[in-house]
Amino acid sequence: MLPHKLIEQRLQHAVQAILPGSDVAAVLVRPCPDPKFGDYQTNALMSLAKARKMNPRQLAADVTAKLDLRDCCESVEVAGAGFLNFRLAPSAMVQSLQEAARGEHLFFEKTVRPRTVLVDFSSPNVAKPMHIGHIRSTILGDSITRMLRLLGHRVITDNHIGDWGTQFGKLLVGWKHHLDLPALQIEPIGEMDRLYKLVNAAGESDPAILEQSRQELVKLQRGDEENLKIWREMLALSQAQFDRIYQRLGVNFDKALGESFYNSRLQPLVRELCDKGIARESEGAIAVFFKDIPHLKANPALIQKSDGAFNYTTTDLATLAYRLETWLPAEIVYVTDARQQLHFQQIFAVFRRWHPEAKVNLTHVWFGSILGEDGKPFKTRSGETIKLADLLDEAEERAFKVVSEKNAELSEAQRREIARIVGIGAVKYADLMSNRQSDYVFSWDKLLALNGNTAPYLQYAYTRIRSIFRKSGLETTGGGTRNPRLALAATQEIALARHLLNFGLVLEAAVDEYRPNFLCNYLFELAGHFTSFYENCPVLKAESEMRANRLLLCELTARVLKQGFEVLGIETAEQM
RNA sequence: GCGCCCGUAGCUCAGUUGGAUAGAGCAUCUGCCUUCUAAGCAGAGGGUCCUGGGUUCGAGUCCCAGCGGGCGCGCCA
């Protein structure tokens, strides 16, 4: 068991003994903010004492007296207002490193309570280019999925593609009257996008075109063969585009049930909500009102428009119900931008009335916008939305220039591959490293910077380790079990080892709050500890035992970095 | 008008159940490449955490009010 888990467990038992019946779930340890205090601390005893009007230092002393941590801690001390500081015994730290070296763990443990989680993210639209607005959802959703799976949860990813709706009326008019077939073959998305914009603009000055679009839409919805055929072709062309982007990003979905999949469920759903008295007619539409929910009081949810058509609230409700009956998830996570908060509050509120018995957790993991360096929504110079494919191309191109400068002796193919890993990694990392709820300013110079909290800096730390192993002629240390006398002496060695031990702690926090940036910060600090070690502690030039110890630290650091990157969806290169 | 979010170093941002002396990168300044990749390291300066109250042993974090900014608010998604 990892040392901090062991401490936590014993601590909870001790608290239970001193304060029978108290809720010890919140009695947790975390790394000390400053190593001078120790390795781990708990401040939970202060709040327990407060709630009981006890003397916090006395409580801490009483708990300490009940604690036996001689096998893993050098000292346990009461400090300050009632902190309890734990300093690990060097042997406990070494033991943990050796377990990791033997492959018994990588400083994290799988959950003891695996749950089924459905993650809904990305959701691009048919016949439109994927753009900058899709990137955060895609990358955050993918990383959240990877982290959950690493900790042993069962995850189903479902891409809720926008493949139905009023835009198809205009698209059909465009396709039938203005289609440029050669252009469609070369650049299908661009052509469909052009058709939509063309008809949309024409409709603004000519009501007849709008009427024509409505007619085509109605025909499609009624199952007209010709329109369905065109619609299916638009879907296939779009899916090919999505697949190319997802392949570049290394993102996979278990399911891609678009909005159209739920068409047949919408009318029955509205009828059921009306029959149950949850929804009612209002100004010609069908709406759900929330008189009893203060912040939704002024915001009823429309589930059927006055013209009889359904909207995305209807579809989302049908989708939610389908997912629940199909996969029985304990939780459904929606990864979308902040502007949809009200929408999801409405969806969740309607759903709770509709299925009050359902135990499922519904979570809206929302995120802020990507801004340009002028602080306004990120656009091209001409004011167009930035296409995702172009963004990725530019990232690779810029990375290629840097790699070529720094490492001109590598072959072009090698430099291209490194540029791909660094460029895509940099775009992803920039998105994941900031608090997802803040807007962030997109800057090529910052995300491809070679220092600071960036993908290239972290990837570089990894290549330095790999370089040591190449030079040593060893692939790895071979597990390090042949070095039972592992001892850490230099302060940089100890700082690095201590940080390695906290990987799992951080991973759990990142998953609990769906905040990959916790993991990014951890990896940045790990890379910092490593480079500091690298500068001060020669590895290959060290004498036999010290050399083996240092090689082991290198190997474990590389493994944690690689594993950390992997759950962020970022690749590593052997050299840069 | 109502609701949500934000305001931390010159700039861009972190800040984990409220917790110990508020951190990082950039920029500025000072050192370090006959030594495992200097895409690096070591160090320095730089703060009324928007303002004012409150709760608390303890507030950047919680509550209230105000100022400033972003976003959302029935037939788009």
- Residue-wise pLDDT for A356-403, tens only, equals 999 999 999 999 999 887 778 888 878 888 899 999 999 999 999 999
CA of A226 to C1' of B2 (A): 47
Please check the confidence at residue A146 and state whether its pLDDT lies above 70.
yes
pLDDT of residue A168: 94
CA of A367 to C1' of B72 (A): 14
CA distance A488 to A540: 16
The H or E element spanning position A272 is helix A263-275
Q: What angle do CA A501, A436, A320 make, to 5 degrees?
A: 105
In chain A, what are the helix, strand and coil shares in percent, each to the nearest 5? 55, 10, 30
pLDDT of residue A429: 95
Q: What angle do CA A525, A249, A574 make, to 5 degrees?
A: 55
CA of A399 to C1' of B66 (A): 48
Q: Tell me the pairing of strands A370-371 and A440-441.
A: parallel
CA of A466 to C1' of B27 (A): 32
pLDDT of residue A170: 93
Using the 8-state DSSP alphabet, how is residue A43 labeled? -
Residue A256 amino acid letter: A
CA of A144 to C1' of B36 (A): 36
Q: Which of A188-197, A230-239, A361-370, A544-553 has the lowest mean pLDDT?
A: A544-553
Q: Contact A410/A575 with Cβ under 8 angstroms?
A: yes
CA distance A325 to A172: 35
pLDDT of residue A544: 80
Alpha helices in A328-411 (DSSP H): 341-354, 388-406
pLDDT of residue A485: 66
Whole-number percent of chain A with pLDDT over 70: 98
pLDDT of residue A481: 47
CA distance A461 to A399: 17
Which nt is closest to the CA of A289, judged by C1'?
B74
Please check the confidence at residue A484 and state whether its pLDDT lies above 80.
no
More confident residue, A444 or A348: A348
Which nt is closest to the CA of A466, judged by C1'?
B36
Please check the confidence at residue A479 and state whether its pLDDT lies above 70.
no
Residue A106 amino acid letter: L
Residue A348 amino acid letter: F
CA of A250 to C1' of B44 (A): 44
Residue A118 token pair: 């459905």
Nucleotide B73, nearest residue via CA and C1': A299
Burial class (CB in 10 A: 0-12, 13-18, 19+), A69: buried
Residue A429 token pair: 């990392």
Which nt is closest to the CA of A422, judged by C1'?
B39
Which nt is closest to the CA of A304, judged by C1'?
B75
Nucleotide B70, nearest residue via CA and C1': A439
From first CA to last CA, the distance across chain A in angstroms is: 37
How far out from the chain centre does Cα A160 lie?
Answer: 17
Which nt is closest to the CA of A533, judged by C1'?
B41
Please check the confidence at residue A426 and state whether its pLDDT lies above 70.
yes
CA distance A80 to A473: 50
The H or E element spanning position A74 is strand A73-79
CA distance A47 to A51: 6
Q: pLDDT category, A40, cuts 50, 70, 90?
A: very high
ipTM higher than threshold 0.90: yes
pLDDT of residue A465: 95
Other Cβ atoms within 10 Å of A147 Cβ, number? 24
Closest CA to A152 of A107, A114, A106, A108: A114
Q: pLDDT category, A480, cuts 50, 70, 90?
A: very low
Phi, psi of A42 (to 5 degrees): -130, 140
Q: pLDDT category, A476, cuts 50, 70, 90?
A: low
Q: Which domains does chain A possess?
A: 3-88 (3.30.1360.70), 116-161+255-370 (3.40.50.620), 167-249 (no CATH), 388-568 (1.10.730.10)
The H or E element spanning position A530 is helix A516-536
Q: What is the pLDDT of residues A264-323, one digit of tens each?
A: 999 999 999 999 999 999 999 999 999 888 889 889 999 999 989 999 999 999 999 999
Q: Which of A29-38, A241-250, A513-522 has the lowest mean pLDDT?
A: A29-38
Using the 8-state DSSP alphabet, how is residue A25 labeled? G
Residue A136 token pair: 């955060």
Please check the confidence at residue A503 and state whether its pLDDT lies above 80.
yes
What is the average per-residue pLDDT within A435-460?
Answer: 88
CA distance A441 to A443: 6
pLDDT of residue A374: 79
Residue A490 amino acid letter: A
CA distance A116 to A314: 25
pLDDT of residue A449: 81
Q: Contact A161/A258 with Cβ under 8 angstroms?
A: yes
CA distance A220 to A293: 38
Q: pLDDT category, A123, cuts 50, 70, 90?
A: very high
Query: Protein footprint on strand B: which nucleotides are under 7 Å from a CB?
Result: 1-6, 12-21, 24-26, 35-42, 56-58, 70-77
Q: Is A241 helix (H, G, I), strand (E, B) or coil?
A: helix
Closest CA to A526 of A552, A551, A559: A559
CA of A492 to C1' of B31 (A): 20
CA of A352 to C1' of B76 (A): 25
CA of A78 to C1' of B7 (A): 37
Which nt is closest to the CA of A167, judged by C1'?
B76
pLDDT of residue A451: 79
Concatenating the DSSP letter of every residue in A191-211 gives: HHHHHHHHHHHHHHH-HHHHH
Please check the confidence at residue A171 and state whether its pLDDT lies above 90.
yes
Residue A483 token pair: 């070095």
CA distance A462 to A567: 16
Q: Which neighbouring-strand residues pair with A550?
A: none
